[in-house]
A = this chain, B = another copy of it.
Amino acid sequence: MNFNEEYQKRLDIVEAVLREYLPEQTGRQKLIMEAMEYSLMAGGKRIRPMLMRESYQLFGGNGRIIEPFMAAIEMIHTYSLVHDDLPAMDNDEYRRGRKTTHVVYGEDIGILAGDALLNYAFETACTAFDMDPSRIRPVSRALQILAKKAGIYGMIGGQTVDVKESGNRISGETLNFIYRLKTSALIESSVMIGAVLAGASDKEVSLMEEIAGRVGLAFQIQDDILDVTGTKEKLGKPVRSDEKNEKTTYVTWRGLEASREEASRLTEEAIGALKSLGREDRFLVELLRWLVYREK
Contacts and interface: CB of A to CB of B under 8 A. Distances in A.
Interface of A: 23, 27-29, 31-33, 36, 79, 83, 86-89, 106-112, 114-116, 118-120, 122-123, 126-127, 129, 136-137, 139-141, 143-144, 147-148, 150-152, 156-161, 163-164, 174, 177, 181
Contact of A156 (B27, B119, B141): B119
Q: What number of copies of this chain does the assembly contain? A: 2
Given A31-B164, A108-B89, A136-B140, A152 B116 contact: yes
Interface of A is mostly: helix
A129 B144 contact: yes
Contacts of A86: 88, 111
B159 A112 contact: yes
A40 to B, nearest CB: 13
A102 B107 CA distance: 15
Contacts of A27: 157
B89 A150 contact: no
A67 to B, nearest CB: 17
A185 to B, nearest CB: 12
15 contacts: A23-B152, A32-B156, A79-B115, A83-B115, A86-B88, A88-B107, A89-B111, A112-B159, A119-B151, A120-B151, A123-B151, A126-B147, A127-B144, A129-B141, A136-B140
